[in-house]
């Protein structure tokens, strides 16, 4: 099946079990910590983490103060394996229906994560979105790969 216009593909291996990575996509505090790209703060005003449920998130640029918000609806949730999300920006200048498909695979060293983000608004350059996702995935790794000593 060919990609929709304005699609990006991401791949990464994380030193964390799939269940922990999966949880980071459903936990509002975790999402606010890792999803906003560098320089942005995230805030979720509501979340219902089930198929058909959704969350509403706001990204605010820390230095410049501007913000953008979006609604993400959970289309498919297979714990530890797959997440499909439909996204829509609140800003009519960023109109369009986006989907994110996150696939998790167990590896001997952790989890392989593949993300396909389709239908980006034409106002957002694909390379800019790709860069933002790379920053977010670094923050995700920093969150889920953290291991604490058992006696701490």
| Domain annotation covers residue 125 | yes
**In sequence order, what are the beta bridge partners of 106?**
111
Place of tokens 């706001």: 58
Other CB atoms closer than 10 Å to residue 148's CB: what's the count?
6
| Residue 152 falls inside a structural domain | no
d(CA 150, CA 140): 22
- Looking at the domain assignment, is residue 43 inside a domain? yes
Quick count: other Cβ atoms within 10 Å of Cβ 129?
19
**Is pTM, for the whole model, over 0.85?**
yes
Give 146's strand partners. none
Query: For residue 150, what pLDDT is reported?
Result: 54
Is 2 within the bounds of a domain?
A: no
Closest alpha carbon to 115 in 130, 103, 97, 106:
103
The model's pLDDT over 11-58, given as tens digits with 9 standing for 90+, comes to 999 999 999 999 999 999 999 999 999 999 999 999 999 999 999 999
Give the mean model confidence (pLDDT) for residues 137-152.
79
Query: Is pLDDT of 78 > 70?
Result: yes
Q: Could you tell me the CATH number of the domain that includes residue 118? A: 3.30.530.20
Measured between alpha carbons, how far is 88 from 17 in angstroms, rounded to an integer? Answer: 30
Residue 122 within a domain: yes
Structural domains in the chain (count):
1
The domain in which residue 17 lies consists of: 8-144
**Which residue has tokens 């933002």?**
132
Is residue 107, in this structure, part of any structural domain at all?
yes
Is pLDDT larger for residue 6 or for residue 102? 102
123 in any annotated domain? yes
Q: Report if residue 92 sits inside a domain.
A: yes
């Amino acid at each position: 099946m060919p990609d929709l216009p304005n699609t990006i593909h991401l791949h990464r291996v994380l030193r964390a079990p799939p269940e922990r990575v999966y949880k980071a996509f459903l936990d509002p505090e975790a999402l606010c910590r890792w999803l906003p790209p560098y320089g942005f703060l995230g805030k979720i005003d509501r979340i219902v983490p089930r198929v058909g449920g959704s969350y509403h998130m706001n990204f605010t640029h820390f230095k410049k103060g501007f913000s953008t918000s979006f609604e993400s609806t959970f289309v498919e949730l297979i714990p530890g394996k797959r997440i499909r999300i439909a996204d829509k920006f609140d800003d009519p200048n960023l109109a369009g229906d986006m989907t994110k498909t996150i696939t998790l695979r167990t590896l001997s060293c952790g989890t392989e994560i593949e993300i396909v983000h389709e239908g980006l608004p034409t106002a957002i350059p694909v390379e800019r979105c790709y860069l933002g996702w790379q920053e977010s995935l670094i923050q995700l790794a920093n969150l889920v790969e953290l291991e604490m000593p058992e006696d701490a």
